[in-house]
Amino acid sequence: MRAITITRDGTGPELRERPLPSPDEGEVLVRTLRVGVDGTDREVVAGEHGDLPAGEDDLVLGHEAVGVVADANGTALPEGTVVAPTVRRPPNGTNEYFERGEPDMAPEGEYLERGIVGAHGYMAEYFTSPPEYLVALPRALAEWGFLVEQASITEKALSTAYASRSTFTWEPESALVLGNGSLGLLSLAMLDDRVERTYCLGRRERPDPTIDFIEDLGATYVDSRTTPVPEIPKTYEGMDLVYEATGYAKHAFETIETLAPNGVGALVGVPGDWTFEVDGGRLHRELVLHNKALVGTVNSNRDHFERAVETLSSLPEGVLDALVTHVVPPEEYDRAFADDDTALKTAIEFDTL
Amino acid sequence: MRAITITRDGTGPELRERPLPSPDEGEVLVRTLRVGVDGTDREVVAGEHGDLPAGEDDLVLGHEAVGVVADANGTALPEGTVVAPTVRRPPNGTNEYFERGEPDMAPEGEYLERGIVGAHGYMAEYFTSPPEYLVALPRALAEWGFLVEQASITEKALSTAYASRSTFTWEPESALVLGNGSLGLLSLAMLDDRVERTYCLGRRERPDPTIDFIEDLGATYVDSRTTPVPEIPKTYEGMDLVYEATGYAKHAFETIETLAPNGVGALVGVPGDWTFEVDGGRLHRELVLHNKALVGTVNSNRDHFERAVETLSSLPEGVLDALVTHVVPPEEYDRAFADDDTALKTAIEFDTL
């Protein structure tokens, strides 16, 4: 079968022939429909993040996938079920985090990540998986099901943020998404139903497809070049919720100033080291005197995937279609990995339902 | 009656004669037993924080009090009830935060604070209050009831911290209190029952009464001069919970590094402006990749006072006695406001039960 891989010697991404995987007992075989590409994939390709499976010379890329069960292999998951696979797997059989259904809370060393760290991903015509790591989707979501993984990241971040505000009456009316990448835009669409006034930060000039997407949702585009993050409360309003999806380290700290009293910032971006000055006294004081919180979250679990399926199913007609601007065949994988300002979200399509 | 006040021209603290307050309709008259002194009182005295009541020339100090109802004044609160008063009051009749029972979530301008901002405090032989701002205590707590206010700060901070971890299985085994002032030591005692291993940071040499108190609780004393906060995980262990009670701004950021994966830092100290360098990229990444959270909280509400009463009632015999090292009569108020390394907690005693 065809698969998009990188190799240990630094080659790739490239489209190569690999043997069709054969499901172990208790595993099903999934025929891949579409696989999304995001910043993490680009980091894996650049060698900045992740690792190949132990003892192997290549890694099948891809962790945002949708497929259809091709061989139930004696399990209870019916053939023909449309599924999105979760990402984390236990490195040695199992551990307490996986047993509790909370692999997303496992510390480093206690998990592999398919397509990222130590386990093959989904950019191939077929993949295998135990059914417990596959979340069933309505057939209507088959084309967009590769977005469930990203949406699950946001479900986890939002549920953590909301939990942090659960000790008092909190009805967020304003939310700001930092970042107009695919995760930022998808999260903005997901927030639309929960929060009255939504804002999204970018650094682009009109005409621009991300700005169009933001404004078509009814959200407000905030240009960081004219309105730096700490100025947002003065120019617009203090934000009850900030969702940081860029991994730009200063944002984590500026978020504290941008929050309205009793607000929460959810952080999901992953920056590298960067030393800079902050008025730490003011930020610390702001957190305390205005009951603010910052919550970092990574990855997601099966519950978040299931909630993501519901949320994506409830989005207004056309939103997901507008988000997925590019769908390319496997042989055009380089278009999917390229930096392309006209692309909001790109998927590689291995097959159709 | 005798009251300890500051005046608008900067005089004080001083012990002065003031007229006995007369309860308005719906208010009771409380005979003051003891009033605690903390860092906020010292800031008010120094003119760094707070404000006098509008149109008045003095402020009765004190916000940590215990008293006994001397005149029920037709209300349902029986005379003889031992009570601790809450601190915040509505500035103009009421507002949504007070109506919800969440004055602690009110932003600036939406509250007064007795003894601190715009309303007389409790350092006087008598004070008046509507009964809804008085929390009844068992008579056995009468001597220690002035600690309920500080304990309520910790109840709020801990419940907010725990709520932020409520989306997954979280059973904190290690907790670090930053600060060996009275709030830090009281919080350490309150954590003893919830968390297996407790630690408390200070900057003192043995022999020292704070270190004795810490070790008598079975907690570990951490000397910040030999073990800076970011070194704590290496020297001791990563902390599931950090409680920042110093207001030293760098601690808020160092807390992120000191937390174990999935841990939470609760901040209650209030620093002034202070600009310094941080490796913001590393801190931001730590928050995300290890699902960490920082929650700031200020003040407390009636629920927290009620929980504080329960928690203080359940502390082992002798702990509160060991904490309250100094009890002075009103005329020796200057001993209460002085910096005294032999004092863990000092109260001014106006009367006994």
Q: Hey, what amino acid is at A105?
A: M
Q: How far is CA B91 from the centre of its chain?
A: 22
Give pLDDT, residue A53. 97
Give pLDDT, residue B40. 94
- Which residue(s) pair with B51 in the sheet? B117
Of B289, B102, B165, nearest in space to A161 by CA: B165
Give pLDDT tens digits for B126-144. 999 999 999 999 999 999 9
- Which residue(s) pair with B128 in the sheet? B29
Residues A290, B108: Cα–Cα separation, whole Å: 8
Three-state DSSP at B170 gives coil
The CATH classification number of A2-137+317-349 equals 3.90.180.10
Mean of the pLDDT values across residues B293-317? 97
A8: left (phi over 0), alpha (psi -120 to 50) or beta: alpha
Give pLDDT tens digits for A319-349. 999 999 999 999 999 999 998 889 999 999 9
The CATH classification number of A152-296 equals 3.40.50.720
Of A184, A185, A187, nearest in space to A158 by CA: A187
Of A173, A179, A118, A111, nearest in space to A150 by CA: A179
Give pLDDT, residue B339. 87
Q: How far is CA B5 from the centre of its chain?
A: 20
Mean pLDDT lowest for which of B45-49, B155-159, B223-227, B312-316? B45-49
In the predicted structure, residue B92 carries a pLDDT above the cut 90: no
Q: Which chain A residues touch B269 with a CB distance below 8 Å?
A: 284, 288
The answer, yes or no, to whether ipTM is higher than 0.90 is yes
Query: Which of residues B185 and B10 earns the better pLDDT score?
Result: B185
Minimal C-alpha gap between A336 and chain B (Å): 26
Here the tokens at position B242 are: 């950090």
In the predicted structure, residue B164 carries a pLDDT above the cut 90: yes
Percent of chain A residues past pLDDT 70, beyond the cut: 100
Give pLDDT, residue B197. 98
Burial class of residue B36, CB neighbours in 10 A (0-12, 13-18, 19+): buried
What is the residue extent of each domain of chain A? 2-137+317-349, 152-296
Q: Do A249 and B281 touch (CB under 8 A)?
A: yes
Give pLDDT, residue B39. 92
Q: Do B296 and A290 touch (CB under 8 A)?
A: yes
Instruction: List the binding residues of B for substrate.
Output: 40, 113, 149, 299
Q: Which chain B residues touch A270 with a CB distance below 8 Å?
A: 285, 288-289
In the predicted structure, residue A291 carries a pLDDT above the cut 90: yes
Q: Do A108 and B270 touch (CB under 8 A)?
A: no
Mean of the pLDDT values across residues B311-340? 96
In the predicted structure, residue A92 carries a pLDDT above the cut 90: no
Q: How many CB pairs under 8 A join A and B?
A: 194
Q: Taking the alpha carbons of A206, A212, A216, A219 in that order, is the dihedral positive or negative? A: negative
Residues A215, A226: Cα–Cα separation, whole Å: 18
Minimal C-alpha gap between B175 and chain A (Å): 19
Minimal C-alpha gap between A24 and chain B (Å): 31
Q: Which chain B residues touch A250 with a CB distance below 8 Å?
A: 280
